[in-house]
Amino acid sequence: MKSEQHFSRYANQRFHSKKMKTNKPKICVVGSSNIDLVVKSQRLPSPGETILGGEFLMVPGGKGANQAVAAAKLGAEVYFIAKLGDDIFGAQSFANFKKEGVNTKYVTRTKKALSGVASIAVDEAGNNTIVVAPGTNHMLSPRDVKRAEQDIASCGALVAQLEIPMETVEFAARLANKFKIPFILDPAPAQKLSSELFAMTDVIKPNETEARILTGIEVIDAKTAGKAAKNLLGRGVKTVIITMGAKGFFMVNNEISEFFPAKKVKAVDSTAAGDAFVGGLAFCIARGRTILEAALFANDVAALSVTKMGAQSSMPSMKEVEKFIKLKNKNDEEG
């Protein structure tokens, strides 16, 4: 890992946002909410194979909800824009938002569909497979986002993913651009994106698989990640960050093109590690930190998240992150 001195040449390249930065930044998240049905097993099954698993967990999840909770647990004032079913899963998710300090002013419930559900299998190494039944997530509309316009106009970052309708994502991006708010897009599950959406995106954060789907470039190492990242940069995105699990991440913009290794930890469950990264990234961007500082902080948040089971339950607090960074810095100095 390179030293902080190496990064000093990027110190004045702060993320452009006209909103006031405070120690408790305001973030808006537009996205999905699910209940995750998690089964632990020694290994993941092959296609058509049935295996016996172990521990079963039923925990709140969904990419949007995970990212909202991640930022809230770090200390942000988070407004979540989402749609839940009027069912037991919706009630459980709503209660958890309240518990984790997420503002639910724009979380609505409907009887027209069931809440989203994700079926997740996790092996002993922390690898996972996920299948999502979107439910009410596919009913989140531009009108729902429009309701939150006043709070979006005063936030320090707006986050979205692709587990909700594309028209809703694009509407959110237009609002962010209208108010000069940094727009962060997690392109998952990956799908074709319009040139307009690319141009409206300040930071896009795909993983290796999503980067391949978006660019057609197989991402297997730093070199191929850089090639894919530059491909996305050429489509109008301001900054591209490709996360590569336990390997680390590659970041490229007009000032930097570099690979950064992940922090070494004992992985228990990689579910929502990418969401933890996005939550940490949004938190720092909304505080007015440089995009590089934000990405390095997000890297630590993601590393900590894989040391616990579950999605939202694995998101660390700021106190935990600060302790982790202090310990890692001490070990680096001694090593």
| pLDDT 10s digits, 22-61 | 568 999 999 999 998 989 999 998 989 999 999 998 888 8
Q: pLDDT at position 18, please?
A: 43
- Dist CA 127 CA 223 (whole Å): 24
| Total-model pTM | 0.87
pLDDT of residue 11: 34
What are the pLDDT digits (tens) for 86-106? 999 999 999 999 999 999 999
CA distance 1 to 295: 14
- Closest-CA residue to 72 (of 45, 98, 46): 98
Predicted confidence at residue 332, as pLDDT, reads 62
pLDDT for res 334: 60
What fold is seen in the domain 22-334? UDP-N-acetylmuramoyl-L-alanine:D-glutamate ligase (3.40.1190)
In this predicted structure, what is the pLDDT of residue 292?
Answer: 96
Note the pLDDT of residue 331: 65
Half-sphere exposure of 250 (CA within 13 A, CB side): 22
Q: Of 129, 132, 130, which is closest to residue 44 (Cα–Cα)?
A: 129
pLDDT at 110: 97
How many Å apart are CA 109 and CA 282, to the nearest integer? 26
Q: Which residues pair with 103 in a beta bridge?
A: 79
Catalytic residues: 275
**What distance in Å separates the CA atoms of residue 78 and residue 204, rounded to the nearest whole number?**
20
Q: Supply the pLDDT for residue 147.
A: 98
pLDDT in tens, the chain (335 residues): 333 333 333 333 444 444 444 568 999 999 999 998 989 999 998 989 999 999 998 888 899 999 999 999 999 999 999 999 999 999 999 999 999 999 999 999 999 999 999 898 989 887 888 888 999 999 999 999 999 999 999 999 999 999 999 999 999 999 999 999 999 999 999 999 999 999 999 999 999 999 999 999 999 999 999 999 999 999 999 999 999 988 999 999 999 999 999 888 887 777 789 999 999 999 999 999 999 999 999 999 999 988 887 678 789 999 999 998 887 766 665 65
Taking CA atoms, 123 is separated from 24, 132, 247, 274, in Å, by 37, 18, 18, 18
